Amino acid sequence: MRKLLPTILLCVLALPAFSQEKQSTDNPFSAMNKRGYERTKGILLRSAEKMPEENYSFKPVDTVRSYGQIIGHLADAQYLFCSIAAGEKNPDLQIEKTKTSKADLIAALKDGFAYCDKVYGSMTDAAATQTVKFFGNDAPKYALLSLNVGHNMEHYGNLVTYMRMKGIVPPTSEQQGAMPAPKPEKSESQPKQ
């Protein structure tokens, strides 16, 4: 037991040295924000690619966006959040309203992420504290970029529901021995076979 405790302690202390990505000591908040953004970007791109073209028009009920509209909305949102953080005019491409094919929506989402990549990549902690106007309120750039990450994950939750309804395993569930989608249960009014 005496030898085990120091070994465990040494392993725990050595973990940061084995990190795949070098931690930024100069801009820790911006670096952490960028890592969160990179993660959501990967998840959303995989989600866009996993859904078959014929399901891009799928929506569970008429009062919500279709799968494709959510992808378009996410592409539009990248420009909204990142243009404000960059101090630029939002190009307001209206992707959600103008694109419908899977290929066009994936291309638009990739372009939106490419636009944001530059903003997250150049952000420093000092610049992140500068305030900008966001819907009439003052907000630090850091908060705006954090909101983008949260917004991405909010809509990933929508996409997960749509994928599950179509029997598709979402990207965040596919890696660790994901369980198959459950089969719909028969209701009491359905005849039993």
Domain count, the chain: 1
Specify the higher pLDDT residue, 24 or 72: 72
Q: Of 137, 152, 143, which Cα lies nearest the Cα of 74?
A: 152
With residue 191 as reference, give the H or E element that holds it: none
Q: What is the pLDDT of residues 86-116, one digit of tens each?
A: 999 999 999 999 999 999 999 999 999 999 9
35 found inside a domain: yes
Question: Considering the domain boundaries, does residue 36 fall inside one?
Answer: yes
What mean pLDDT comes out for the span 40-55?
98
Determine which of 45-59, 75-89, 104-118, 174-188 has the lowest per-residue pLDDT on average.
174-188
75 lies in which domain range? 26-170
Does residue 164 sit within a domain?
yes
Q: Which residues contact 112 (CB under 8 A, 6 or more apart)?
A: 74, 75, 76, 77, 78, 79, 95
Closest by CA to 47, choosing from 153, 186, 180, is 153
On whether the CB atoms of residues 68 and 157 are closer than 8 A, the answer is no
What is this structure's pTM?
A: 0.79
Please check whether residue 21 lies inside any domain of the structure: no
- Mean pLDDT for 24-49 is 94
**177 within a domain of the structure (yes/no):** no
Residues 6+ apart with CB under 8 A from 35: 21
- Reply yes or no on whether the pLDDT at 49 is more than 90: yes
- Which CATH number does the domain housing residue 47 bear? 1.20.120.450
User: Does 34 score more than 70 pLDDT?
Assistant: yes
Query: Does 21 or 104 have the greater pLDDT score?
Result: 104
User: CA 40, 43, 47 angle in degrees (round to 5)?
Assistant: 135
pLDDT score, position 109: 98
**106 SS3 class:** helix
**What is the chain's mean pLDDT, rounded?**
86
Would you state the pLDDT for residue 174?
87
Supply the pLDDT for residue 59: 96
Q: d(Cα 58, Cα 25) in Å, to the nearest integer?
A: 45
What are the structure tokens assigned to 72, written together?
A: 């378009």
Tell me the one-letter amino acid at 113. Answer: F
- pLDDT at residue 181 in the model: 52
Residue 163 lies in a domain: yes
189: in domain: no
- Confidence label for 25 from pLDDT (cuts 50, 70 and 90): confident
- The pLDDT value given to residue 164: 97
Task: Copy the structure tokens of residue 176.
Answer: 């660790």
| Dihedral sign for Cα atoms in the order 91, 97, 101, 106 | positive
CB 121 within 8 A of CB 34: yes
10 inside domain? no
Mean pLDDT value of segment 2-25? 47
